[in-house]
Structure 1
Amino acid sequence: MSASMMLATIGGGVLGEVLLYILLHRVFRLDGKASAMAIGLLVVLAYVPWAILTWPGADIFAIHLAIYLTTAYGLGMIGSRVGRGWHWAPALIVGFFVMVIITNVIFLGVAERGITGLFARILPEPEEAEVVDSRFPGTVSHDFQEKEAQYNAYLRQVEEQHQRGWQVRKGWLYKPVVGQNATFMVTVADKQGSPISGADVSGRFLRASNSRDDFEFEMHETGPGEYRVDLKMPLQGLWDLVLQVRRGEDLHEIRAETLVGGAAGHG
């Protein structure tokens, strides 16, 4: 759910609560507390089942429910004090809830439009710097069914890989040194030990300290079931390896680590 849609649903829900409160209080002659309790109960009975069926995500659900119930509580406090004067304590509580709602609305507005626009005009101009557009470029995925399907597909792949029984051996012909060419070799055989030819073998070397140093590579078959590639590792230290062997619809994936040494004369 985008920020603008959240603003619309929150604003529409709060407005609906206010109108319903007026209806219950003025037309049906319920007192302020009874009207607020009726609205709060209606929120629980109507919004909660709807949210469960459509499930926008736990964070969005919590924000909506908190604001709706806070609005009902605030209306009850305001209605119960109309014509009777205000004590500073309930006034402070109502003010606090109003500030919570306003703060949430502001955060949603910044997420949608950024500090440019209205907020850039309100806030002071930065000194010797440009105004940065701070909009959140997307929304967090809450499609748990898709995630579950992906996880189930991964488990099926692991099981199929285990049943397939391919034997994959990998390694360097000699110890890799940073900045120098080194040959990385992979041999692939089936469960019976026969070499697997005609496969697409590729991989990625991943740097845990900085993902910008990650790089991919493709390997070439140099003999039956034997694949090689010449690489020049850019940095010394520990690298993670993700290696994939594909032949037709079959995929075999393994993960490993490798250590790259420093050049001569360097630590």
Structure 2
Amino acid sequence: MSLLETLFGGTVIVVILHWLLGRAGLANYWRGVISGAVPTIGYAVYAIMNGDQLDVIAIHVAIYLATATVLSLLASDKRNSGKRMHWAPKAMVVFFGLLTVIDGTFVAVSTQGVPPWVASLIMPRAKNHPVYSGFSGVTEHDEQAAKAVNEHLKTLSDEQKLGWDVEMEGLDTLKSGPSAVNNLTMRLHDRLKQPMQNAVVTLNFFRPGYVQMLPPLRLLEGKPGEYGGSISIPGTGSWVVKLVIEANGQRVEREHDVSVPAS
């Protein structure tokens, strides 16, 4: 499940539980405790199994408990007054509801990027090429960074001169989780469309900004020109995959931005 699904889905569960417990005649205090605790405990179990990060867990717990608290305060005020709820508390509920939606959206965009269909509407390049819009961490803008850009452009030029045909399968269907095993296959052909054998093929998985890196994955040759391997991705969200191919004394590097959902 995505962050938006767990965040707003859990909030809806808090509201429904609070209403059902009220219909059952439970005291308002225990309505707030139970309606806030059940989704929080349920998500905690899911987060442990899914390997969610602490900042994502914190926003879920805060939203669930805040929702339960606000509902209990409003129910108590209404019961004590015996009249229809004043417009001011209603305005506060709407305000904090909108604030929750906006904050949740910001967190989702920062961790997973803008959804592809939204990116295609506001980013012209996204219509034909994958565009990563999530937060990539701190990026250097000094002479070393400029040198890296120049080296990357030179690599692209060298790759075009070689004329290698690289076909990668499995990156579009990646799943995260300790039990999810992702099978990856790469097919390599030369300029004459002949299979290239005895190549050294390595895949490097890391978070944008190099904030989290996985051990390199070596793809082994099976059929002529076909290399395969498997990997487990520990967390959901945006990852960068760096493909390194060494063959015939030449070296080619490619990077792909991928979004990995839960298994």
Q: Give the structure-1-normalised TM-score.
A: 0.40
Structure of higher CA gyration radius: 1
Q: Give the structure-2-normalised TM-score.
A: 0.40
